[in-house]
């Protein structure tokens, strides 16, 4: 068992017990799907269908001619009700295809992607993106820059966010598919070493993976410590290599993919299956917490209803995990390729609203836990004052947005939210 660690980090309560033992089950297809045309980092897709069109499960409904992009496929057989817009978890409004599904669905069938001798083209055609939340188009990540040879592939099964167990259940229930994805990625990259890494709070999943592991596939358990699953921290914990400032992780000779992404890659290459559904953990203050396989475009409100509805006094509903996820202003937002969880936080568990924060007291806790060695209190102050250049000079772009700083702040300053604003501004304006 690996005992490597990284600098900083925190140990928040796991809150995984209510769903870690819950097998994945299909959520029903709702009467209406809202499929966003922007579910990935990069250029948003444009619709290639129109109102009234008949669509089949797996058919392309959105695409764009751009390198950093991924097509969108219909998750069901049905009819396009309209081309409109929708709010997404981040609060933006994006273009969307609204579909009325057929009353009867065959979720085992799909329109396969067009066959190609180029495996990267197949991954792109299947619309595969990072399913750990980053949603970076996988075909781009599988094409490292020239001069950056990849010798190690790492599959990330750490799932260090509290409450979330979708990756845990995937590794436990479908270990052979995770291994198949690891093998396919190794073949594409030409790597010599493959490591499937998970935290040591998932011994059952580790055992299942070891039993399914092919030759040359290592399964490593790491200490349970947040944010162990962050790409840079994972590379350091396993390989003792630091990603240089301003460089891609590929500069270390390592390529990291989430375990669910690896399964989607294997599905695309072996059966031509496009990415049209994913496993979502629905937990917290709901009547039936669990892990549900959900077709993309299902509204959060429909998914929560299937989980028995909200119970008690719910203060906040979060898309993703409580450390890095987005608080939802409305439940009428759709599940996307990057939706790992829906967490309903009961009263008293959520952080105060941004308007209720207090001044920094210079306690020094946030620099102590920052896994990137930054000074979050200073970065947040600069962001609050719109001092983008000053934030850039303090390396705000290096922030991995883990939220450890907000977690330990005694005055509950919205450090992560402020730093996100400063990071976005610094990146978009190319601060001097």
Beta strand 152-156 with 254-258: parallel, antiparallel or unpaired?
parallel
pLDDT at 123 over 90: yes
Residue 145: other Cβ atoms inside 10 A:
9
pLDDT digits (tens, 9 = 90+) for 360-375: 999 999 999 999 999 9
Q: For residues 310 and 167, what is the distance between their CA atoms, to the nearest angstrom?
A: 23
Q: For residues 263 and 178, what is the distance between their CA atoms, to the nearest angstrom?
A: 5
Mean pLDDT of 390-414: 94
| Of 47, 32, 76, the residue nearest 274 (C-alpha) | 76
pTM: 0.95
Q: Where in the chain is the domain with CATH 3.40.50.11540?
A: 119-271
pLDDT digits (tens, 9 = 90+) for 239-295: 999 998 888 899 999 999 999 999 999 999 999 999 999 999 999 999 999 999 999
| Of 352, 351, 333, 353, the residue nearest 342 (C-alpha) | 333
- Alpha-helical (H) ranges within 164-322 are 166-173, 175-189, 203-212, 231-239, 259-271, 300-306
Residue 66: other Cβ atoms inside 10 A:
12
pLDDT at residue 152, rounded to an integer: 97
Contact (CB, 8 A) for 246 and 29:
no
Domain 119-271 in CATH 3.40.50.9100: no
**Cα 122 off chain centre by:** 21
| Of 255, 237, 250, 246, the residue nearest 398 (C-alpha) | 246
**Edge-to-edge strands, sheet with 93-101:** 33-36, 93-101, 78-87, 54-55
Measuring CA to CA, how many Å separate 386 from each of 131, 320, 366, 411, 420? 32, 28, 21, 21, 12
3-state secondary structure (DSSP) of residue 208: helix
């Amino acid at each position: 068992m690996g005992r490597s660690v990284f600098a900083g980090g925190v140990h928040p309560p796991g809150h995984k017990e209510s769903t870690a033992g819950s097998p994945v089950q299909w959520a029903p297809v709702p009467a209406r799907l809202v499929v966003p045309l922007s579910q990935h980092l990069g250029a948003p897709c444009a619709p290639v269908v129109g109102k009234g069109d008949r669509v089949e499960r797996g058919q392309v409904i959105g695409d764009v001619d751009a390198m950093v992009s991924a097509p969108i496929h219909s998750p069901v057989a049905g009819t396009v009700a309209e081309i409109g817009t929708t709010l997404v978890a981040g609060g933006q409004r994006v273009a969307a295809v609204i579909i009325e599904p057929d009353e009867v669905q065959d979720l085992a069938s799909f329109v396969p992607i067009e066959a190609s001798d180029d495996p990267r083209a197949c991954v792109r055609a299947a619309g595969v993106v990072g399913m750990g939340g980053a949603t970076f188009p996988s075909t781009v990540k599988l094409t490292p820059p020239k001069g950056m040879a990849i010798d190690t592939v790492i599959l990330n099964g750490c799932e260090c966010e509290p409450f979330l167990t979708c990756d845990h259940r995937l590794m436990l229930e479908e270990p052979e598919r995770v291994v198949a994805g690891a093998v396919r990625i190794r073949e594409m990259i030409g790597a010599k070493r493959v490591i499937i890494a998970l935290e040591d709070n998932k011994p059952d999943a580790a055992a299942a993976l070891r039993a399914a592991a092919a030759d040359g596939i290592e399964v490593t358990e790491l200490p349970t410590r947040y944010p162990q699953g962050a790409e840079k921290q994972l590379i350091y914990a396993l390989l003792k290599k630091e990603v240089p400032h301003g460089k891609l992780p590929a500069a270390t000779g390592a390529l990291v993919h989430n375990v669910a992404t690896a399964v989607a890659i294997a599905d695309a290459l072996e059966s031509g299956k496009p990415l049209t559904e994913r496993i979502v953990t629905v937990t917290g203050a709901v009547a039936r917490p669990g892990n549900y396989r959900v077709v993309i475009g299902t509204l959060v409100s429909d998914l929560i209803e299937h989980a028995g509805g909200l119970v008690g006094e719910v203060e906040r509903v979060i898309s993703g995990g409580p450390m890095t996820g987005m608080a939802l202003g409305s439940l009428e937002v759709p599940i996307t390729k990057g939706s790992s969880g829906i967490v309903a936080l009961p009263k008293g568990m959520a952080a105060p609203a941004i308007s209720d924060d207090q001044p920094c007291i210079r306690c020094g806790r946030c620099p102590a836990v920052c896994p990137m060695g930054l000074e979050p209190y200073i970065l947040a102050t600069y962001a609050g004052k719109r001092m983008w250049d000053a934030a850039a000079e303090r390396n705000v772009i290096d922030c991995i947005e883990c939220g450890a700083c907000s977690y330990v702040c005694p005055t509950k300053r919205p450090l992560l939210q402020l730093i996100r604003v400063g990071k976005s501004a610094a990146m978009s304006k190319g601060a001097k």
